[in-house]
Amino acid sequence: MSELPVVQDPGSLPRRSPLYRLHLATGASFRQVEDNAVPYLMASLPGDTATARQLGLVDLCGLTKTGVKGPGAPAWLQQKRFQLPAEPNLAVLQPNGVLVARLSFDEFLILGDLKGQSSAFFDPEDIRLLDSAPQAYLLPRGDSHCWLGVVGAQASKMLVKLCAIDLGSEQFPDFVIAQTIIADISVIVIRHDLGLTPCFYLLADIASTEYLWEVLLDAMLEFVGGGVGLAALHTLLEQEPVSAM
């Protein structure tokens, strides 16, 4: 696995997360994924990791993601050797760390791995074929949605302040999806624990990213949670064994 390259100024890259200025202002350091940047450290690695174990918020907008939709989507994705969830509102982790979330009978959201290695999900040739595939359509999920992670032991305790569905571990185990409303906006919630640390991915309209980020930080205040970088997530993944798939 190759290290992600360091990037000093995310504003120098053509593709910019809606939050990069916020992170810059708080002194974050960044790593580059494709032509975008991800906040890698907010403070120090031990500091970020300690926060993330309790309650951390991470901006994953810089990681790659895409979507495929249409009655022909399941067959096409299987042909591309993706393992698909059997039912809507479930996700399956692929051996390479990519997460495939089934949002409906014929709609899939594909999230890149946290190491930033799975930059392209399909070859250009695949995409060309997709155009002629019967009833399967690529969705611009890379830009339509933000991708935030709420991580840590207190994650569900914080989220119940903003969300009217039960995200407790019994009702909402790993790899379960809820497409619901959080803080008055539509959000796709995917549970994807990092080792033994609970983690919820929140995907919402990308134009609402700053709003959602601020609402989440505010709701995290009482738990002394805060922003963390991607590196903390890597640590959590490495230090605790990922449960067998």
* Three-state secondary structure call for residue 230: helix
Question: Does residue number 243 form part of the binding site for other proteins (CB under 8 A)?
Answer: no
Task: List the structure tokens of 150.
Answer: 């709420």
Q: Judged by CB, which is closer to other proteins: 68, or 232?
A: 68
Fill in the DSSP letter of residue 176: B
Among 5, 46, 140, 173, binds other proteins (CB under 8 A): 140
Fill in the DSSP letter of residue 194: B
* CB of 167 closer than 8 Å to CB of 160: yes
* CB of 61 closer than 8 Å to CB of 36: yes
Among 8, 21, 123, 243, binds other proteins (CB under 8 A): 21
Q: Judged by CB, which is closer to other proteins: 174, or 210?
A: 210
Question: Does residue number 15 form part of the binding site for other proteins (CB under 8 A)?
Answer: yes
Helix axes 45-54, 230-239, angle to 10 degrees: 70
CB of 96 to other proteins, least distance (A): 24
From CA 159, how far away is CA 216, in angstroms rounded? 8
Question: Does residue number 9 form part of the binding site for other proteins (CB under 8 A)?
Answer: no
Q: Judged by CB, which is closer to other proteins: 15, or 80?
A: 15
Question: Does residue number 169 form part of the binding site for other proteins (CB under 8 A)?
Answer: no
CB of 150 to other proteins, least distance (A): 15
Interacting residues of 120 by C-beta distance below 8 A, sequence separation 6+:
64
Among 1, 27, 131, 244, binds other proteins (CB under 8 A): 131
Question: Does residue number 127 form part of the binding site for other proteins (CB under 8 A)?
Answer: no
Look up tokens 């640390």; give the residue. 197
Write a three-state SS string for 81-149.
Answer: CCCCCCCCCEEEECCCCCEEEEEECCEEEEECCCCCCCCCCCCHHHHHHHHHCCCCEEECHHHHEEEEE
Rg (CA), the chain: 17
Using CB under 8 A, which of the segments 41-49, 91-99, 183-191, 233-241 binds other proteins? 183-191
Binding string, residues 55-84; x marks residues near other proteins by CB under 8 A? ------x-------xx--------------
Among 183, 190, 230, 237, binds other proteins (CB under 8 A): 183
User: Residues in the site for other proteins, rule: CB under 8 A?
Assistant: 11, 13-18, 21, 35-36, 61, 69-70, 88-89, 103-104, 131, 135, 137, 139-145, 160-161, 163-166, 168, 171, 178-181, 183-188, 205-208, 210-211, 215, 219, 222
